[in-house]
């Protein structure tokens, strides 16, 4: 079966889900954007778990998990998206973030998972394609996850995702 793909506008760290997906950097030591927000909301437990589990970081396109610390979610599923602005333009690396996150969610027993638009921010992936990659992959990947929630940051992103979902 596949997950029901839903959409909300808001803060990914405030979602009432089993797991939130973090658009992490390869170093797995926190950063800006979604990564910084998740580390700030989750507190030092998230970073401590990253250091413990990912001593050498995480490869682009890969997924792994940590505690969610102080967030209401139980887990953070970290994915490392490709950095378009640095020449990482293999769409397969982007889609593997979504399918890999679903596979990790299945291993954990998570049934509700909140996703950001991976690589669509500071990593510069063209947003229209980042949205299509997210929706297509979440709709096509076999999983036990019941709800894959795309959390759009801002009204413009929400409306763009909504148009792809409706199409």
Q: Residue 117: which pLDDT band, with cuts at 50, 70 and 90?
A: very high
Are 113 and 17 spatial neighbours (Cβ–Cβ below 8 Å)? yes
CATH number of the domain to which 77 belongs: 3.40.220.10
> Which one-letter DSSP state was computed for residue 110?
-
Handedness of CA 11, 21, 28, 88 (dihedral sign): negative
- Domain region containing 149: 4-166
Distance CA 162, CA 159 (A): 5
Task: Tell me the pLDDT tens digit for each residue of 56-82.
Answer: 999 999 999 999 999 999 999 999 999
State the total domains in the chain: 1
Distance CA 129, CA 146 (A): 24
Indicate which residues carry an active-site annotation: 35
- The reported pTM is 0.97
* Neighbouring-strand partners of residue 21: 77
The mean pLDDT of 3-14, rounded to a whole number, is 98
């Amino acid at each position: 079966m596949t997950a029901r793909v839903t959409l909300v506008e808001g803060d990914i760290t405030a979602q009432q889900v089993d797991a939130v997906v973090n658009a992490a950097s390869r170093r797995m030591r926190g950063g800006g954007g979604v990564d910084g927000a998740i580390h700030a909301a989750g507190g030092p437990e998230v970073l401590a778990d990253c250091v413990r589990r990912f001593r050498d970081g995480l490869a682009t396109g890969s997924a792994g998990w940590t505690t969610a610390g102080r967030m209401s979610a139980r887990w953070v599923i970290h994915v490392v998206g490709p950095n378009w602005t640095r020449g990482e333009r293999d769409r397969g690396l982007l889609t593997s973030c979504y399918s890999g996150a679903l596979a990790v969610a299945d291993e954990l027993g998570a049934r509700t998972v909140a996703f950001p638009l991976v690589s669509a921010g500071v990593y510069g992936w063209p947003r229209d394609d980042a949205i299509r990659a997210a929706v297509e992959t979440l709709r096509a990947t076999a999983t036990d996850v019941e709800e894959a929630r795309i959390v759009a940051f801002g009204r413009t992103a929400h409306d763009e995702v909504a148009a792809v979902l409706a199409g």
